[in-house]
Amino acid sequence: MKRVRVLVADDHEVVRKGVRALLESNPDFEIVGEAVNGMDAVEKTSALKPDIIIVDVSMGGMNGLEATRRIVKASPQTQVLILTIHDSETVALEALRAGARGYVLKSDAGRDLLSALDSLRHNRSFFTPTVSEMVLKGFRPGEAQPEESRLHRLTPREREILQILAEGKSNKEAAQQLGISLKTVDTHRTNIMSKLELHSVNELVRYAVREKIIEP
């Protein structure tokens, strides 16, 4: 069986090095590259066409959930494995909705990461026990389902601008980063506030932290 080509996307170098060291000790896997944020992950997935990409949730510029949505849409041949510190039912379900096939907590990586990659290489989903319990609870028939995140009301561009603004950047800085006009950013910001039912920048930041779009 050919080696599985893996791309690692995490904004912490120590995590990328740790994953690389773990995989390089196994002949079944080959690290083909590293990405330092969500946009970098999307671009390198398109260029390198890995079999699997390991994605962190909390990354600057574009978070891992948004990157997952774009990767699944643009590169359906690549399977996404979320590797994160967030043991949150909301984040786990959001990752599933985004198209991830696996979800592993960083605290469980030493025990479960290779098993997760092996499952994905055989087209099987993988969730660590803690996450499996949360996911089953979230989808258990007959029980009240968790409220669907209002994040789904936003377009991909609006989610991108939401993260940039929540990171403390101004409308002008967002426009410069994305290469669009200030007027366009202003319009997107108005739409974001309306769709998310928010009324101030402080509320926007709190929402972004709660939804794990940014870290506090």
CATH number at residue 166: 1.10.10.10
Residue 215 belongs to some domain of the structure:
no
Q: Does the predicted model carry a pTM greater than 0.75?
A: no
Residue 203 belongs to some domain of the structure:
yes
**Residue 117 C-beta-side C-alpha neighbours within 13 Å:** 27
pLDDT at 35: 96
pLDDT at 146: 45
Among residues 139, 164, 190, which one ends one of the domains?
A: 139
Residue 97 belongs to some domain of the structure:
yes
Domain that holds residue 196: 150-210
Q: Which residues of the chain have pLDDT under 50?
A: 140-147
pLDDT at 59: 86
> How many structural domains are present in the chain?
2
Are 176 and 134 contained in the same domain?
Answer: no
Are 101 and 155 contained in the same domain?
Answer: no
pLDDT at 1: 66
Helix 129-139 vs helix 89-98: crossing angle, to nearest 10:
80
Residue 173 belongs to some domain of the structure:
yes
Residue 56, classed as helix, strand or coil, is coil
pLDDT at 135: 62
Tokens of 93: 């379900």
Are 164 and 135 contained in the same domain?
Answer: no
pLDDT at 141: 43
Residue 122 belongs to some domain of the structure:
yes
Residue 206 identity: R
Residue 58 belongs to some domain of the structure:
yes
Among residues 112, 139, 166, which one ends one of the domains?
A: 139
Going along the chain, which residue ranges are E strands? 4-9, 29-35, 52-55, 79-84, 102-105, 126-127
DSSP code at position 61: S
Alpha carbon dihedral 112, 114, 117, 122, in 10-degree steps, equals -100
215: left (phi over 0), alpha (psi -120 to 50) or beta: beta
Are 64 and 45 contained in the same domain?
Answer: yes
Q: What is the CATH number of the domain that holds 55?
A: 3.40.50.2300
Are 45 and 79 contained in the same domain?
Answer: yes
Residue 145 belongs to some domain of the structure:
no
Residue 179 belongs to some domain of the structure:
yes
